[in-house]
Amino acid sequence: MSEQESELAQCVRRLATEFFARLEGEKCTGVHELLINTVEKPLLEVVLNHTQGNQTLAAQVLGINRNTLRKKIQQYGLVQE
């Protein structure tokens, strides 16, 4: 598992470095929120697909409260089929 975590961290580091390089010295704010919002929706989609839409199990996999998961599903407009 640590190998996958390391690979994920390397990917985030590489993409964040590229992001700042593209700014060419321009100031920016809200990078943390931008990153979280960019990553969180597809992560939720993948986990919900993995758990076949079982929100209780998805919340356990994510390590969050089921009510928090429901709020995020609504926030991102994820439709459960």
CATH of the domain at 59: 1.10.10.60
Q: Is residue 81 part of a domain?
A: no
Predicted pLDDT of residue 81: 54
Contact 80, 73 (CB under 8 A): yes
Q: Is residue 80 part of a domain?
A: no
User: Can you give the pTM of this predicted structure?
Assistant: 0.78
What is the Cβ-side half-sphere exposure of residue 20, based on CA atoms within 13 angstroms?
A: 9
Q: How many helices (H) and strands (E) does the chain have?
A: 4, 0
Number of structural domains the chain divides into? 1
pLDDT one-digit tens code per residue, 21-78? 999 989 999 999 999 989 999 999 999 999 999 999 999 999 999 999 999 999 999 9
